[in-house]
């Protein structure tokens, strides 16, 4: 009985060690990497604008236009309706 238990535990331990050696999955991109916009001036290593520079500060102050996920103007907002009428 002891030999059977010893053999079974060795088999289970070797199987556990074998599965533990798999490589981990690649980490997903962080939110800053996904939403990083092209900067008007110098950027940091992660691609986000470096806010120490005036060009990047000025670009951040401009109001963002309301858009849908596909990039077209969202016509539920008055500012977009006015721009469409002028064009």
Residue 74, domain member (yes or no): no
Q: What is the span of the domain harbouring residue 36? A: 32-56
Query: Per residue in 20-60, pLDDT tens?
Result: 766 667 776 665 555 556 767 889 999 889 989 988 888 77
Q: How confident is the model at residue 15 (pLDDT cuts 50, 70, 90)?
A: confident
Residue 50, domain member (yes or no): yes
* Predicted local confidence at residue 86, as pLDDT: 74
Sequential DSSP letters for the chain: -HHHHHHHHHHHHHHHHHHHTPPPPPPPPPHHHHHPPPPSS-B-TTSSB-TTSHHHHHHHHSPPPPB-TTSSB-TTSHHHHHHHHH-
**Tally of structural domains, the chain:** 1
Residue 45, domain member (yes or no): yes
């Amino acid at each position: 009985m002891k030999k059977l238990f010893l053999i079974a535990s060795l088999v289970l331990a070797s199987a556990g060690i074998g599965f533990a050696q798999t490589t981990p999955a690649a980490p997903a991109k962080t939110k800053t990497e996904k939403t990083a916009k092209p900067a008007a001036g110098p950027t940091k290593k992660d691609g986000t604008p470096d806010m120490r520079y005036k060009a990047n500060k000025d670009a951040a102050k401009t109001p963002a236009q309301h858009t849908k996920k596909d990039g077209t103007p969202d016509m539920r907002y008055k500012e977009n309706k006015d721009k469409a009428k002028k064009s």
